Amino acid sequence: MTQKALFLDRDGVINVDSGYVHKSEDIEFVQGIFDIARLATEGGYLLIVITNQSGIGRGKFSETDFWNLMSWIKNRFAAENCPLTAIYSCPYHPIHGVGEYRQESSFRKPNPGMILAAQAEWSIDLSKSVLIGDKPSDIDAGIAAGVGTNLLVRARNSVESFVNSGYFGISELAESKKYL
């Protein structure tokens, strides 16, 4: 049996992107994230986080710091009655990574590796799934993986629908309700 998923980028979608966030006290959740996550959960979607984390690769914080924060975020989502199913991350950066972290990775968006790993692990029907991202690389990953609906949060820009390009522009998370 296949399931549908709501794929969420972290920085800029789940939390305000204030640059290399790695401590719970620095987290400010994006307005409406828990409402959207609850709606998706009620609609039978798995909630899956897919996040590039080049701050690890750049030496700004450790993998342990990242996973400790994600455990805290996961607990917050559970407390809001919208538990996260899985978290996929990519610490690598092909140019700015340090040491072992300086490499190409099929998991680093715009590559679809994290989405495809989730699909295999959770038996996800990508054509019935939704992705919400705040950067073109998020959308490119969704399109490359075959995600049925890709939403680009573009709060600072004029918003248009780009159906022929494989995604829709939305100005705030609340607009994603109509796609779930």
Task: Please tell me the predicted confidence (pLDDT) of residue 168.
Answer: 85
For 20-42, how does the pLDDT look when each residue is reduced to its tens digit (9 = 90+)? Answer: 999 999 999 999 999 999 999 99
Q: In whole angstroms, what separates CA 55 from the centre of its chain?
A: 16
CA distance 95 to 102: 6
Closest CA to 119 of 5, 14, 8: 5
- The answer to whether the predicted template modeling score (pTM) of the entire model surpasses 0.85 is yes
User: Cα–chain-centroid distance for residue 164?
Assistant: 22
Evaluate whether 165 touches 140 at the Cβ level (below 8 Å).
Answer: no
Each of the 180 residues of the chain gets a pLDDT tens digit; together they read 689 999 999 999 999 999 999 999 999 999 999 999 999 999 999 999 999 999 999 999 999 999 999 999 999 999 999 999 999 999 999 999 999 999 999 999 999 999 999 999 999 999 999 999 999 899 999 999 999 999 999 754 444 444 446 788 888 999 999 999
Residue 76 sits at φ, ψ, to 5 deg, of -65, -45
Q: Of the residues 9, 134, 138, 140, which is catalytic?
A: 9
CATH superfamily of 4-8+16-104+113-155: HAD superfamily/HAD-like (3.40.50.1000)
Active site residue 140: no
What is the three-class DSSP state of 154? coil
Closest CA relative to residue 112, chosen from 61, 166, 157:
166
In the residue annotation, 9 being an active-site residue is answered as: yes
